[in-house]
A and B are shown apart, each in its own frame.
Chain A
């Protein structure tokens, strides 16, 4: 029975994700431990530095930080890994008729699994041990993963194609990430940003991607996350359209440049 292009893409994405995880963790089981250790250390260090050294004064700071930092790590790691996915697998793409974008899908899915593991290991305990404790908003957290994954996928797709033609994309991206880590309200709340600088945040895609997730974790006000979610979905869909346009435009040239 023939299957549609979408189904083919999804199936190849799943197959490739399972295979690449199998391949990576077979080489070293410690690899998976590292994947979890990395955000734990990042969170631990920042929690100490910002709360104890810089004494950022806000209630439930650890909860606030974890809600911003963990999705930020997911986004940046996904984009950096996925950006090189087409180039790294150039031989595979040139040899067989596989859906090139399944490589992008697999990078996102692979990192999403890591993100889910971190969520269970770090985020849930921090939520449970916070002063706020359980809030009904938490039940909406899974819904906020949709715009987060959509934005991560769209940026990764765009950058993966750009990287085929401009091989130093990842180098430029790591520079951009180090700048945006400070420009994005991850370890400080948006309320700290003076009004005259707010426009910097309004156009910050990373902030919009993270905001709904953090809202369900940190804010107890009912449905405060929803307007943020709508905005994030808007950005996500817009970015996906842009990535699709660029993909269609340059798809033919891919095999020459790879």
Chain B
């Protein structure tokens, strides 16, 4: 998917459509399927599943220098859009063209091996984050000291609180520069003090990245970090513009939406 950029475009998504079968949301077993097949074989084979549309013809272009925020109520398709942008999933219709490397983080309180120590997990994560053959040891060590976890680094990761886990992962992510960086609600786990400290460091990383896509529920962070915000509603972009206006639009539209109830 990587190709040379026509101008200063980093990511170009055209006419993205994505839908999922509704039954995915209810976990069934082989036994249930067997019973359904025996009960009503015709329906089981022939009936097409009910589909839930997630994205409906969405277009988005990410330029160099964009710090794009994505706002939207739960279920608006924010995470699915991010997963498409980083190549984790493919849209059923539409195309995505990436003119550079894309990295994405969706949760910061996840370790690779909870039984292993924080330090061991950090090196493992670094190996997952870095697309290159060698993981730069100095960068990982620098991130570890930045995390201020000290003696905890030699304790099993599973003994960490959510805040500590977030510290470790966020310190690691921010140690590295990337062309396009996608952060899906990653600040929500870190404790308050560290949030300020890490925010400063993330700002530096964001400045060094060519573009950042940012999903958050915190309006302040949106205003602080973004220079462009899109509002997503029912799988479509309904607003694309400066952060302040986008936030006003989002608050107004979501309050009118909830006002109907």
Chain A residues with CB under 8 Å of chain B are 1-3, 8, 11-12, 15-16, 19-20, 22-24, 26-27, 91-92, 94-98, 162, 165-169, 172, 251-257
**Residue B33 interfacial (CB < 8 Å):** yes
How far, in Å, is B102 (CB) from chain A's closest CB?
A: 8
Q: Which of A2, A27, A94, A95 has the most CB of B within 10 A?
A: A95
Q: Cβ of B28: which chain A residues have Cβ within 8 Å of it?
A: 165-166
- Whether A23 contacts B113 in the complex (CB less than 8 A), given A95-B105, A96-B128, A166-B29, comes out as yes
The size class of the interface chain B forms with chain A is 35 or more
Q: Are A172 and B30 in contact (CB under 8 A)?
A: yes
Question: What per-residue 1/0 map shows which CB atoms of B86-97 lie under 8 Å from chain A?
Answer: 111110100000
Q: Are B107 and A23 in contact (CB under 8 A)?
A: no
**Residue B101 interfacial (CB < 8 Å):** yes
Q: Are B106 and A96 in contact (CB under 8 A)?
A: yes
Question: What per-residue 1/0 map shows which CB atoms of B150-176 lie under 8 Å from chain A?
Answer: 000000000000000000000000000
Q: Cβ of B104: which chain A residues have Cβ within 8 Å of it?
A: 96-97
Q: Which of A1, A97, A167 has the most CB of B within 10 A?
A: A97
Report the bound CA distance from A253 to B89 in whole Å. 8
Which parts of B73-88 form the interface with A (CB within 8 Å)?
Answer: 83, 86-88
Q: In terms of DSSP, what is the predominant structure of the interface of chain A?
A: helix
Q: Cβ of A165: which chain B residues have Cβ within 8 Å of it?
A: 24, 28
**Residue B20 interfacial (CB < 8 Å):** yes
Stretch at the interface among B62-70, B129-137, B210-218, B244-252: B129-137
| Contact among A2, A27, A96, A168 for B131, CB-based, below 8 A | A2
**Residue B110 interfacial (CB < 8 Å):** yes
Q: Cβ of B90: which chain A residues have Cβ within 8 Å of it?
A: 251-252
| Contact among B24, B89, B108, B113 for A257, CB-based, below 8 A | B24
How far, in Å, is B138 (CB) from chain A's closest CB?
A: 18
Report the bound CA distance from A1 to B101 in whole Å. 11
Besides A96-B125, A251-B90, 10 new A-B residue pairs in contact (Cβ under 8 A), listed by A number = A3-B133, A11-B133, A12-B128, A23-B116, A24-B115, A92-B111, A96-B104, A96-B105, A97-B88, A172-B31
| Contact among A94, A96, A257 for B129, CB-based, below 8 A | A96
Selected A-B contacts with CB under 8 Å, 18 pairs: A3-B132, A8-B131, A15-B128, A16-B112, A19-B120, A24-B115, A92-B112, A94-B106, A94-B107, A95-B106, A96-B110, A97-B87, A97-B88, A165-B28, A172-B31, A251-B89, A252-B92, A257-B27
